[in-house]
Each structure stands twice: as C-alpha cells, then as structure tokens.
Amino acid sequence: MSAPATAPVPRPGILEIAAYVGGEAHAPGTGRVIRLASNEGALGPSPKAVEAYLAGAAEIHRYPDGGSTALREALAGLHGIDASQIVCGAGSDELIGLLVRSYAGPGDEVLYSRHGFLMYPISAKSVGATPVAAPERDLCTDVDAMLAAVTPRTRLVFLANPNNPTGSYLPAAEVERLHAGLPPDVLLVIDAAYAEYIEREDYDSGLGLVDRAPNVVVTRTFSKIYALGSVRLGWAYCPAAVADVLNRVRGPFNVSSAAQLAGLAALHDQDFVARSRAHNETWREWTRQELERLGLKVHPSVTNFLLVSFAGAAGHNDPAEAARRYLKARGILVRQMGAYGLPDCLRITIGTEAEMREVVAALSSFLKG
C-alpha cells in the first residue's frame, strides 16, 4: 500500500491536462491591438444583441429562465428542428464537457482526429477517459482512419466540422459514412461551431442526421459568426434521450439572462449574419491570395480563419514563432499552433479590411526582413 497522501489529490487524468490557453488579447507597449487570435467576429456583435443585453441590466437580480425557453424556440423555428431536443449551454465548450462526463469515464476512449479541437482531449482527460487521436490526411479528417481507431472502449467520437484549427471540412456524405461505420452505442458529436460560414452544396451541419439517428449530437455556438463569445452561449441538438441526460447533469441556471437575451436578438438579426458571412468570404479570399503571393502556404479554409504554414520561410530557424513575435511587436495578435502539433503554422482570424491589410503588410516586411 502506498503512503497516505499529504495533500488532496485530484482524480487520475486531471494532472495530465495541459490547460487550454486562449488567444492572446494584449500586446503591451504597442499602443493598439489587432486581435486575430481567437476567431472572434470581425464586425463585432450585432447592435441589436448589444441593445438587448443592455436592456436586461435592471433585472440581473433575477435568476435566468433555466430552460432558455424563448431562445430554444427561436432556434427551433430558424433551423426547422424540435425545441425539446435543444439544450443550451455556457458556450458549446460546456456542452462538450457535459457530453464527455455523461458518456465516458475511466477506461473509456474518446476519439477525435489528430488536429481536432483541443477541448476534446482536455474533456476526456478531465473525466479520466483516454483521448485517442486518429491520423488525418492532408490536415483533413480521414473517415477510414477514424473508423479503424474505434475499439470496444470507444464511447464518443468528436468531429469538428468545419474543423478548428485546420479550416477543412468533411462533405455530408463522408459524415454519413463515418456515422454508418460506428457501433450504435458510440455517440458521434458533430461540433459545427463554424457552420454559418460555409455555403457549399456538399456541406451539412448534421441537424438532419440527429433526427434520423439516436447516437448523433450536433453542437453549435454563438461565439463565432454571431460574435457573442463573451456571454458564453452554445447549444446542442440531441436525440430526446441525450437531451434528457444533459438536462439532468447541467447546472439548472447554466445560461445567464444576458446570454439568452443577446442570443435571441442576434438570432433575429439574420441580415447581420449574412453581412458577416459575405465580409468573411471576401477578406478570407483576399488574405489567402496575398499570403500566397508572399510565398506562404495557406491551407484551404471554409471558416473565419486561415491556417498559414511558415515551413521553409528563409532566414529563420523557427519561422512561425519569429513571425508571431514580429506581428505581436506591431500590436497584431495571431495564434501559435504548437499545442495542436502544428508548430510551423500560425492561425490568423479574418478581421476587418484594415486589419487584414495590416497583417499582410506586416508579414510582407517580416519575410523581406
């Protein structure tokens, strides 16, 4: 028997977590800051969302509606889905964590693809489960490799579609093939945080699959195109039995009134969403072309960010890190990718026109350095 511990000890797995490090928000000494490190909305929030948020201020002594009723009904109307199967959360991160906690534990495996969103392995470790990363092909989820990695211990499979940080996506037919190859007791979680940015014939966020399959959940967020990252608001569309589970484990008041009010107003401002999507498309394509003209490799993206490879940029032994520091010294913050196993890359969020022109100009001078 081992000696008694002399201090409280967390459960197995917890101390293996490398805490999630968010994008930087400050560039001391530069006088201004351009934040392109966290995939926040380029245009700021909808003014209607801000107005609704402020209008709720006098009522903050009241507990929120624990069922997020008005918001769920509006989501159901917009997407043509069943409100009773929607569960809202304090960001989709909370829902990811609750799903893992509800369906996996010590000895279980949580499968994701090699460059999938970091919250999947973090959530798995936090419940003592084992995260398993399937290899990708060209920085895109490889359905065959995912299916080959399924074992009798697999409890959940996470698919970010489109994926962060690669910017790639799986066509609906491939998602169907992934689902068809999974045992019925494995939960497929499709994290569609960037769904509103992509308009492709062959893409689908998976809401219809939830209606057809008892083992598929889709998570969505208000943090990206709706630009409400600060209020923490996400939602999951689930089979009824999974919604029931989430409603048992979530906090009874997990979504604040401010989040519900802002989210509802943002949802009703679809013109703003359309403007954001069009802005993103224009400036993502412009930025991609300009960076390619500078000789950088830019991975194809359907999202509001670009994964840019600096491998081979002459004159630096760690060019991505050198570029990141160069930008930061000029008040421009982008995301380093070491934690994702992509140390040669930086992830650059699409911001305003002026911000995109600045980042391209700064990278041009860096490369001429």
Please give the Cα distance from 254 to 269 (Å, whole number).
24
The H-or-E segment that residue 75 falls in is helix 69-79
The CB-nearest residue to ligand PLP is 91
Interface with ligand PLP, residue 351, by CB under 6 A: no
Smallest distance from the beta carbon of 272 to ligand PLP, in angstroms?
18
Smallest distance from the beta carbon of 253 to ligand PLP, in angstroms?
18
Interface with ligand PLP, residue 193, by CB under 6 A: yes
Contact with ligand PLP (CB under 6 A): which of 35, 49, 75, 93?
Answer: 93
Smallest distance from the beta carbon of 142 to ligand PLP, in angstroms?
18
Looking at the Cβ atoms of 165 and 319, the one nearer to ligand PLP is 165
Q: In what order do the strands lie in the sheet with 234-237?
A: 86-89, 234-237, 216-221, 187-191, 154-160, 109-113, 130-134
Looking at the Cβ atoms of 21 and 361, the one nearer to ligand PLP is 21
- Degrees, nearest 5: CA angle 102-103-105: 95
**Encoding tokens for residue 152?**
């009798």
Smallest distance from the beta carbon of 90 to ligand PLP, in angstroms?
8
Looking at the Cβ atoms of 23 and 181, the one nearer to ligand PLP is 23
Interface with ligand PLP, residue 67, by CB under 6 A: no
User: 299 with 342: CB under 8 angstroms?
Assistant: no
Tell me which residues in 307-336 interact with ligand PLP (CB under 6 A): none
Contact with ligand PLP (CB under 6 A): which of 113, 164, 287, 304?
Answer: 164
Binding-site size for ligand PLP (CB under 6 A) equals 14
**Burial of 128 from C-beta contacts in 10 A (0-12 / 13-18 / 19+):** middle
Smallest distance from the beta carbon of 159 to ligand PLP, in angstroms?
10
* Strand ranges for the chain from DSSP E: 34-36, 86-89, 109-113, 130-134, 136-137, 140-141, 154-160, 187-191, 216-221, 234-237, 297-298, 305-309, 332-336, 345-349
Smallest distance from the beta carbon of 197 to ligand PLP, in angstroms?
11
Closest CA to 87 of 233, 197, 206: 233
CA dist 217 to 130, 193, 237, 255, 337, Å?
A: 20, 13, 6, 19, 28
**Encoding tokens for residue 326?**
């160069």
Tell me which residues in 216-235 interact with ligand PLP (CB under 6 A): 221, 223-224, 229, 234
Smallest distance from the beta carbon of 305 to ligand PLP, in angstroms?
9
Smallest distance from the beta carbon of 97 to ligand PLP, in angstroms?
10
Q: Residue count of the chain, please give it.
A: 369
Instruction: Please identify, among the stretches 85-93, 97-105, 246-254, 274-282, the one whose residues bind ligand PLP according to the rule CB under 6 A.
Output: 85-93
Helix, strand, coil percent content, the chain, rounded in steps of 5: 40, 15, 40
Contact with ligand PLP (CB under 6 A): which of 53, 103, 112, 117?
Answer: 117
Give the binding site for ligand PLP (CB under 6 A).
39, 91-93, 117, 160, 164, 191, 193, 221, 223-224, 229, 234
